[in-house]
Structure 1
Amino acid sequence: MSFISLGLSPALLKALEDQNFTIPTPIQQTAIPAILNKKDVLGIAKTGSGKTASYVLPLLMNLQQTPAVKNRHADVLVLVPTRELAEQVKDVFHTFSQSLPERVKTLAVYGGVSINPQMMAMQGVNVLVATPGRLLELVDSNAVHLSSIETLVLDEADKMLNLGFKEEVNRIIALLPEKRQNILFSATLNNDIQHIHQLMLHEPVVIQIEAEEESLELINQVAYIVSDEKKGPFLRYLINHHAMKQVLIFASSVQQTDAIVNKLRKNNFDAKAIHSKKSQGARTEMLSHFKSGKLRILVATDLMARGIDINDLPFVINYELPRSPKDYIHRIGRTGRAGTMGDAISLVSQNELHHFEVIQKKMGKKVDLIDSENINISIKST
């Protein structure tokens, strides 16, 4: 099946071609036609299945037939659990909307930053991507009105509810017009998702993509006890000691990825960071260079690394542990693929030891834990 058969416009097909999208994923094959036909959709699929494009593309096309928005009245509302995902979704809308004849303005709003610039930018917004708490602050300030929303998207609904946004989501739904299109994506179908499903979806098209189990058989795992202040030097030691020509490093935040890269580059390592603050073009170029071997070291957040699939990636390093054991398994699963052995190395500080025990228990596999104090790392950086 090709994107041409899904009913997308020539402008969007050209944008897909420019971004090297050739074959729709299983969720895109079903979701795109359903959303184009204004159906409600319930999609159960893990992150990395192509779900963002599966709603961005048809919603952009539908917006081309929508009259101009009233001031501070968006047409599409996308609720997401984190600022990183808000920026990521906004970037996907921006990437594909540039080729359209009719202008589509997308704005991402979230907490942790000043609300005033977001209030000022609200004029003329077609697509509003928001975390629930900040959206309600904007509503309470009369900076945005939800009475004209034609389509509501709940992306990563399970994570949103796990983070305690249930009351906020219910309040937001109560502010929306009763007649609207609803799209809900979740990695799991638990009781909370069933509640939201029953509350907002009308005769939905249900799409359930079975997640492939990550195989750990081809992954050599090892962990080192390293204090936080020594993680940087020890990371550089590992890269040199193992003569790593291609390594993916995971960090917990945008700020941490930049800090790691700055230190690596000061020590003459070829490294770049990939995160939600980078432009879509920069991220695409970095991934291309990393996959082809032109870039030696890529430092990523969990959200940005979802699309990194390299059959023979030799090394993955956890500079910090992720919050979720599932995210740990997803991280190390970037190596040891397609019949090729890989190495996954974790740097574990003293205050992470208990969490690492939980990860091992959930994974059902014991990992060798080595005290880095017994290792001489005084090797010149290359």
Structure 2
Amino acid sequence: MSKKRKRDPETLEHSAGTPADLKSSKSEKDKSKPKKDRNERLESSEKPEAKFASLANATEIDSITEGNVVDLANDTMEVDEPVALKDAATGSDEKQSSKKDKNKKRKDEDLSTGHLSILSKFDKYRAEVLASGPRIVAKEIVSEEPLQGLHPLPQPAQAPVQKVDPNSVLPSYLSQPTTVPTSQRPPFESFGLPELLLSRLEKLGFKDTFPVQSALLPLLLPDNRLPPSTPRSDLLVSAATGSGKTLSYLLPILASLINRIVPHTYALIIVPTHELATQVQRTAHSLAAGTSLKISTAIGTRSFEVEKDHIIANDIGSTGADILIATPGRLVEHIRNNPQFTLRHLQWLVVDEADRLLSQSFQDWVEVVGDELQKPFSREDEQGGFDITSMGLRTPKRAADTVRKVILSATMTRDVGRLAGLKLRRPQLIAVDDIGGQEMAIDGSDNDGEDQETADKGLRELNSLPSTLEEHYYPVSNPTQKPLILAKLLSDSQTKSGILVFTKSNESASRLARLLELLFAKKLGKKRKGSSGKDWRIAVSTSDKRKKEISANTSKFKASTIDILISTDLMGRGVDLPNAQLVINYDSPRNEKDYIHRVGRTARAGNKGITWSLVEDSEARWWWTGIGKVRRSNSDGINKESAPELNDEALQIYEGTLEKLGREVRGS
């Protein structure tokens, strides 16, 4: 809006004449403007603002706009200066008088006209805002119309959102494991396994899965609904011994490699002992019968040069092992000293009995294997030196980008420092628990009276025992009489075979075996029924024995030609002894993990088993604080028994036995 000029009648009257006179009169008019007019203009400029502020309310605005609408098309808000000068030049008194009246009237209406112009714009904007609501709703309705001829792309299943404990110092995948109940055992045929594997399972007598298998097979088997490049989570698995962990990872590996064309080392299974490696190899051979897959071991039972020919590629490009089962020490030796051995085509990395493998260095096997997986591919690594990029195919950068890692143990460590070396991708912890899928206590809050050291262990470990295990606790007040107490318990027991006894050292195992032989020879124990009057058959397997002797004793124990096998924790991990009915802790284990692995030699694969623990009075408090707090699904818990009574005759026989053993040790 242009500035409005105030017209004085006298000024207009003197302005008639020549242009020069007009110019002069205009100058004089500007100089002769009184201050009073300026003050009136200032007051008039303030009044509209005050009035506009009072009209901010929407109802007042509506009332003003409805009752005081002015036709702006017929009224002008400013004076056209050339027309005013022309009228002044006519010198007509009548026109000057009418002009004066008109200007005076316009002076009064200018304020309301200007305000109404602003208010009309405001009212128009307010109407647009109020009208915008229905348009937004209409837009949402249109967006809900179904699309024609378009289908959404298949998306991978979303991982369940787990609650995170803000007070936990562990990563979310460790502090909130996915627990799996043991109530469901679907058949193997429901998981889409290849027909060849299903037929092999049927011949081996496997029809329904165990809980650990039903939990892992859907996560590990290839998913045809997802693109091959879709990243899959690495898994940590905590399940009781004898729960079927070996089958749970062998089946997915075999299913993924059953149609392989070019032989390479595609799967690496790392185990702590050669006994467990041999056991895994036998299971894999049984399942892979009828396929062209090759399975071998690197465990140090044969010379290094002979072993090389069974696990590496030869001159024609084939390999001795599509699936390699190795102990960590021997594996490191091949990586460092065998230039032809490579893990660059690896697709599966399985670490069984992970808690033991990670707690000991074994020539820094974690770092060595990790560095090997990080080695980049080169064109010479392709099939026969052929460059697949010439066909438009993209070569993976390194094996670490695609390898799937599966970490298993009955006592899974939750030590972040130990697990960090494995460099897991999007890890997920699966705990197969007989409690029925309940969340596991990890913060020690439910351990009344528990010391801080044991509570800290609860943060780091996942421990569980089979639900079919029956536990018995026998207090021993006099440790010197412990061999006699054991002999008395065995003589009174209904179990006459399949007995596994654990001691704390090689010397203790050998000494106990000889004392039991002498005590049974003294007719302290009863003859075994159905054995043609033969005494108990006892054998010892310790680390100071030759590997062939240990393997022979294991085979005899499985065949029930040995009744009692006495050993250290050498036999406590990974060894499958299906006929073990009774496990005896003659000497208390060093910790809860050793106890779990010891008693896990029985009550395997859903079968029942019994364990005895002979605990000295000095060990009782530690035993109940540590081992007594291990999670149990068996509602009976631990049965506290009374040690058998020893009469004078038994004590005399025992003293004579000790004297004879002393003479044998002295060689007299």
User: Could you say whether these structures have the same fold, taking a TM-score greater than 0.5 normalized by the shorter chain as the test?
Assistant: yes
Paired residue type of 1:64: I
Q: Report the Cα distance in structure 1 between the residues aligned to 2:302 and 2:486, rounded to whole angstroms.
A: 31
| C-alpha distance after superposition, 1:212-235 (max 9, x if no partner) | 5558996242457369xx96x986
Distance 1:205 1:191, change over 3 A: closer
Q: Percent identity?
A: 25
1:42 aligned residue (235, 238, 241): 235
1:8 aligned residue (193, 204, 207): 193
1:221 is aligned to 474
CA RMSD of aligned residues (A): 5.0
Paired residue type of 1:316: V
Distance 1:17 1:272, change over 3 A: farther
* Unaligned runs of at least 5 residues, structure 2: 1-185, 224-231, 313-319, 374-398, 436-463, 521-530, 629-637, 658-668
SS at structure 2 position matched to 1:74: coil
Shift of 1:37: 1.3
1:200 aligned residue (394, 406, 424): 424
Q: Does 1:376 align with 2:653?
A: yes
Shift of 1:12: 1.6
| C-alpha distance after superposition, 1:136-165 (max 9, x if no partner) | 111111162222222212223232111235
Distance 1:329 1:180, change over 3 A: closer
2:433 is aligned to 210
Q: Report the Cα distance in structure 2 between the residues aligned to 1:267 and 1:306, rounded to whole angstroms.
A: 27
Decide whether the 8 Å contact of 1:226 with 1:347 is kept in 2.
no
Shift of 1:20: 2.5
Q: Report the Cα distance in structure 1 between the residues aligned to 2:540 and 2:202, rounded to whole angstroms.
A: 26
Q: Does 1:154 align with 2:379?
A: no
Q: Does 1:168 align with 2:365?
A: yes
Q: Does 1:250 align with 2:501?
A: yes
SS at structure 2 position matched to 1:376: helix
SS at structure 1 position matched to 2:236: strand
Decide whether the 8 Å contact of 1:87 with 1:108 is kept in 2.
no
Q: Provide the TM-score with structure 2 as the length reference.
A: 0.43
Shift of 1:5: 1.0
2:583 aligned residue (311, 316, 321): 316
Decide whether the 8 Å contact of 2:503 with 2:585 is kept in 1.
no
Decide whether the 8 Å contact of 2:233 with 2:427 is kept in 1.
yes
Q: Does 1:141 align with 2:337?
A: yes
Decide whether the 8 Å contact of 1:94 with 1:106 is kept in 2.
no
What does 1:1-382 correspond to in 2, within 5 Å?
A: 1-37=186-222, 39-46=232-239, 47-69=241-263, 73-97=264-288, 99-110=289-300, 114-123=303-312, 124-142=320-338, 144-165=341-362, 167-176=364-373, 177-186=399-408, 187-192=412-417, 194-196=419-421, 199-201=423-425, 203=426, 206-210=429-433, 212=435, 214=465, 219-223=472-476, 225=479, 238-242=489-493, 244-246=495-497, 248-251=499-502, 268-269=535-536, 301-303=571-573, 315-319=582-586, 321-329=588-596, 331=598, 344-346=612-614, 358-364=622-628, 374=651, 376-377=653-654
Q: Report the Cα distance in structure 1 between the residues aligned to 2:199 and 2:554, rounded to whole angstroms.
A: 20
SS at structure 2 position matched to 1:121: helix
Q: Report the Cα distance in structure 2 between the residues aligned to 1:10 and 1:354, rounded to whole angstroms.
A: 58
SS at structure 2 position matched to 1:4: helix
Shift of 1:285: 11
Distance 1:250 1:77, change over 3 A: same
Which structure: greater strand fraction? 1
Paired residue type of 2:323: V
Q: Report the Cα distance in structure 2 between the residues aligned to 1:57 and 1:273, rounded to whole angstroms.
A: 35
Decide whether the 8 Å contact of 1:318 with 1:346 is kept in 2.
yes
Q: Report the Cα distance in structure 1 between the residues aligned to 2:293 and 2:470, rounded to whole angstroms.
A: 49
Shift of 1:2: 0.7
Decide whether the 8 Å contact of 1:44 with 1:188 is kept in 2.
no
Q: Report the Cα distance in structure 2 between the residues aligned to 1:53 and 1:239, rounded to whole angstroms.
A: 35
Distance 1:23 1:286, change over 3 A: farther
| C-alpha distance after superposition, 1:103-132 (max 9, x if no partner) | 42222425x875344334324111112222
Distance 1:277 1:360, change over 3 A: farther
Higher mean C-alpha displacement, 48-57 vs 370-379: 370-379
Q: Report the Cα distance in structure 1 between the residues aligned to 2:192 and 2:595, rounded to whole angstroms.
A: 38
Paired residue type of 2:347: E
Shift of 1:35: 2.4
| C-alpha distance after superposition, 1:241-275 (max 9, x if no partner) | 5464355223479x979x969x7999633678999
Distance 1:242 1:108, change over 3 A: same
Q: Report the Cα distance in structure 2 between the residues aligned to 1:152 and 1:41, rounded to whole angstroms.
A: 10
Distance 1:66 1:167, change over 3 A: same
Paired residue type of 2:432: I
